[in-house]
Amino acid sequence: MLGIIRIGSGRMRNAFLLFCIGVCAGCAGLPAGDAQVASPKNIIILFADGVASTQWEFGRYSSGVLRQQPFATTDVVFRQGTLGLASTDPLGAFVTDSAAAGSAMSTGVKVVNGAVSITPDGKPVRTAMEVAKASGKRIGLVTTATVYDATPAAFSVHAKSRSEFQSIVDQYFALEPDVLLGGGAEYFLPATAPGGKRKDGKDVIAAFRAKGWQVARNSAELKAASSAKVLGLFADDDMDFEIDRDAAKEPTTAEMAAAADAVGSRTSRTLDPHPAVCPMAAWCQLGIRRRRRIGCRWRDPGRACVSAGR
């Protein structure tokens, strides 16, 4: 199984949990002690968008000072796992955006800023989720941003421009991820429906339901979900900051990750409204989820966890 969870990007809202159930990229660089351990069957990527060493240190510091608890990413993953760096700069520019960075990490190919896993000459490059799907793995995607935001999309589908939201949603429908959780209901619904923005009149939520997906629109419905395939859309646009979240309407990142796990992207922009509190709250949720996932590589040779930022 391949799963991806994303945190951060924009309003630190893009907690991105890509349940990449089975992508070889996560198998590289294992510690020497694990050299003879078989390649993991399942891979979970926890991706913090807009995050570099400064944000990881902020998470470690705030977790220790405000929560009196270790920060799983720095205190467990970085210390006990394998630490590496990847080049995510785009073609033709010095500073990358989420689309180009996510595409580089998902495909291993550099693209221009704004492009989603597609080369300058218009050729799509196989994404992490497409590789996993073709290998017979179940796949899932969890984000606190819109599910069609640049980073989740880059790990999954293709677009010449990250703003092709309707096309990205249509590609999700064709890709058929087993789990798809986050915000962005507006481009699943026709413009004639409340909050809808689709121009073709299609109700993609209804189409997913007719195809066999259980649909959850709030925390209670997600908690009650029992299907092997779940579509959860908890906001018309991005989901709220952790400190602003209505618990009845929107589940936490940890709750979405747990729900996705049971079935089988919040940083750079978040720094604007509440410079410390919003990132810290989102980091706590990421730390909680990572703490629950941590040890999966050491306790379960069949599962690998990849903590990533860009």
From CA 271, how far away is CA 206, in angstroms rounded? 36
Per DSSP, the three-state class of 190 is strand
Choosing from 9, 98, 117, 167, the catalytic residue is 98
From CA 60, how far away is CA 71, in angstroms rounded? 5
- Degrees to nearest 5, angle at CA 288 with 283 and 293: 120
| H/E element, 257 | helix 253-263
148, amino acid identity: Y
Per DSSP, the three-state class of 213 is coil
From CA 29, how far away is CA 26, in angstroms rounded? 8
98 annotated active-site: yes
Q: What is the 3-state secondary structure (H, E, C) of 61-127?
A: HHHHHHCCCCCHHHHHHHHHCCCCCCCCCCCCCCCCCHHHHHHHHHHCCCCCCCCECECCCCCECCC
From CA 164, how far away is CA 300, in angstroms rounded? 39
Q: Which residues are catalytic?
A: 98
